[in-house]
């Protein structure tokens, strides 16, 4: 819970009436889906005598996996909280990596391609995302201030803008800019198209985040700043925005992570970013899965980096409140 109570309720998993039904459910699930015939079953197959019937194999697999899970829970529960979190995180990461590994990947192929994937694909993805994030932030700030202003024209534009760009699929926006603008006589390159579509779309979402953040600051803060003689610009930049950052940062971090991955949509107009290369590089040698998994891991790692950055910024803007 966010604010700790001072009652030691027994942890959910330490209660027999939760622990044993959970194990039973896992066992039943493994049995139901014929686990003996799966990749897990093949891992277990080494231990049981050869030539056993499929039923025996599934039974053995279910028993072993369930027992391992039970043992794991008991061990993890004895650790301090932080270690629990990290250990469980690590275990799940191992499971997902095993899942990838089970595809019988050609690591030689990945090794051959990863350099190009990073220097061309990752760099392009990062470039597009970074520029789009910057423009989207500026658009969002302008949109939010316009929506809260007493200027009817600005409000009208801002309302139309958020409505349109939140209402159209991002993919459609990319096509419209890339294929539609040439009708007006402006031929736009693929990369600027991607940046424009991502900026406009995410700027629209973030406008609402910024607006809510600004509105979360109590009236008294505006009044105190105005009573001191601060002008509207100073009230906004010195008093209101720094405080609304606490509210704005977490959902904005979400948007950044989301945009990083949505930048893959730009591949439809042929930008050589990570997703495009993952698709095309795999095609030549029918090694799709290798490239997809490599690209997935790269996206994931970048998201983790963004998560960490978001955490640092949050701590910074919370310092006045957390004492």
Partner 1 sequence: MIPAPQIAAGAGAGGAAIEILKLSKWYGALQVLHDVDLVVDRGERLVICGPSGSGKSTLIRTVNALEGFQRGEIRVGGVKLTREPAVVEAVRRNVGMVFQQFNLFPHLTVLENCALSLRLVRGLSGPEARERSMHYLTKVRIPEQAGKYPAQLSGGQQQRVAIARAIAMQPEVMLFDEPTSALDPEMVKEVLDVMVGLAEDGMTMVVVTHEMGFARQVADRVIFMDAGRIVEQAPPEVFFTRPQSERTRAFLQQVLPH
Using the minimum distance from each CB to partner 1, give the nearer residue, 150 or 183.
150
Kindly tell me which of 90 and 242 has the beta carbon lying closer to partner 1.
242
Binding site for partner 1 (CB under 8 A): 220-221, 223-231, 234, 238-239, 242-243, 317, 319-321, 323
Nearer Cβ to partner 1 (11/218): 218
CB 39 within 8 A of CB 102: yes
Residue 63 vs 230, nearer CB to partner 1: 230
For partner 1, which is the closer residue by CB, 115 or 229?
229
CA angle 35, 38, 40 (to 5 degrees): 80
Between residues 185 and 220, which has the closer beta carbon with respect to partner 1?
220
Nearest distance in Å: CB 109, partner 1: 53
Nearer to partner 1, 31 or 317 (CB): 317
Rounded least distance, CB 129 to partner 1, Å: 29
Assigned token pair, 182:
């040439």
| CB 246 to partner 1: min, Å | 8
278 contacts 270 by C-beta, under 8 angstroms: no
Please state the closest distance from residue 158 (CB atom) to partner 1, in A. Answer: 24
Minimum CB distance to partner 1, residue 156 (Å):
24
d(CA 197, CA 180): 12
Closer Cβ to partner 1, 55 or 228, answer by number: 228
Burial class (CB in 10 A: 0-12, 13-18, 19+), 81: exposed
Least distance (Å) from partner 1 to the CB of residue 147? 22
| Least separation in angstroms between CB 229 and partner 1 | 4
Q: How far apart are CB 273 and partner 1 at their closest, in Å?
A: 38
């Amino acid at each position: 819970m966010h604010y700790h109570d001072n009652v030691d309720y027994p942890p959910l998993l330490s209660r027999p009436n939760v622990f044993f039904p959970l194990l039973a459910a896992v066992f039943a699930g493994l049995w139901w889906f014929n686990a003996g015939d799966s990749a897990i079953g093949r891992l277990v197959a080494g231990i049981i005598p050869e030539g056993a019937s499929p039923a025996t194999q599934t039974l053995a697999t279910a028993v072993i996996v369930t027992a391992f899970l039970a043992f794991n829970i008991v061990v993890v529960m004895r650790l301090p909280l932080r270690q629990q979190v990290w250990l469980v995180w690590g275990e799940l990461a191992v499971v997902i990596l095993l899942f990838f590994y089970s595809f019988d990947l050609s690591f030689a192929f990945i090794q051959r391609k990863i350099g190009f994937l990073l220097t061309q694909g990752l760099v392009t993805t990062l470039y597009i995302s970074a520029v789009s994030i910057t423009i989207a932030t500026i658009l969002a700030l302008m949109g939010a201030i316009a929506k809260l202003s007493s200027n009817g024209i600005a409000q009208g534009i801002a309302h139309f803008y958020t409505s349109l760009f939140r209402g159209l699929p991002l993919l459609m926006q990319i096509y419209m800019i890339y294929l539609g603008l040439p009708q007006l006589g402006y031929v736009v390159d693929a990369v600027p198209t991607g940046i424009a579509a991502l900026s406009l779309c995410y700027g629209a979402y973030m406008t609402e985040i910024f607006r809510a953040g600004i509105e979360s600051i109590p009236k008294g803060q505006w009044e105190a700043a105005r009573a001191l003689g601060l002008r509207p610009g100073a009230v906004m930049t010195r008093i209101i925005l720094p405080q609304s950052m606490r509210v704005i940062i977490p959902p904005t971090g979400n948007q950044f992570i989301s945009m990083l991955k949505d930048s893959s949509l730009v591949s439809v107009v042929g930008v050589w970013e990570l997703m495009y290369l993952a698709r095309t590089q795999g095609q030549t040698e029918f090694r799709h899965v290798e490239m997809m998994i490599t690209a997935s891991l790269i996206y994931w790692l970048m998201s983790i980096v963004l998560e960490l950055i978001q955490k640092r910024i949050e701590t910074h803007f919370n310092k006045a409140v957390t004492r």
